[in-house]
Amino acid sequence: MTEKEKMIAGQLYQAGDPVLEAERLHARKLLKEFNDSDPENKDKRQKLLENLLGEIGEGLWIEPPFFCDYGYNIKVGNQVFFNFNCVILDVVPVVFGDRVLVGPNVQFYPATHPLDAKTRGELWEYGTEIHVGSDVWIGGGSIICPGVKIGDRAVVAAGAVVTKDVAADTLVGGNPARIIKELKQE
């Protein structure tokens, strides 16, 4: 397997691989153009996002600045909104359902490093996918850790550090995030 194939599969890989370095540089260039773009030039922004992200649904809106590693591992449903200063370290798929609202300064961290110091010191890393369901609201300043799945209609309170899966129809908050209450749907 190539380093890219290992990365996307969630296996240990070397991020210093020349192919991956070139792809990160390509993403950085698109991100710079997007982040520096005129707010009135919606068509240009849309085209840049289409060239950057793996899949996007209708009605996607991202407030610059926005940051990611590769872009092509990000899959976004319909009517999704990311507020200012979102970070997605997309070394593996990061998937968003429909009608997801992401507050400012939210960070998605599927990328991680081995706990073993020797392996980590040899610059190996890996990722674990993040999945966000539909009709989810993630409050500002939240951090979503590797491997987390957030169920449909869940709410993540501002500033939460989400280290474990979030069930559908729940409100979580704190560090580490815990269930605050069950949400009743009407």
Residue positions annotated with a catalytic role = 113
User: In one letter, which amino acid is 2?
Assistant: T
The closest of 74, 36, 37 to 52, measured between CA atoms, is 74
Amino acid at 22: A
Return the DSSP state at 174: T
Specify the 3-state DSSP secondary structure of 149.
strand
Residue 28's H or E segment, with its range, is helix 18-35
What pairs with residue 169 in β-bridges?
none
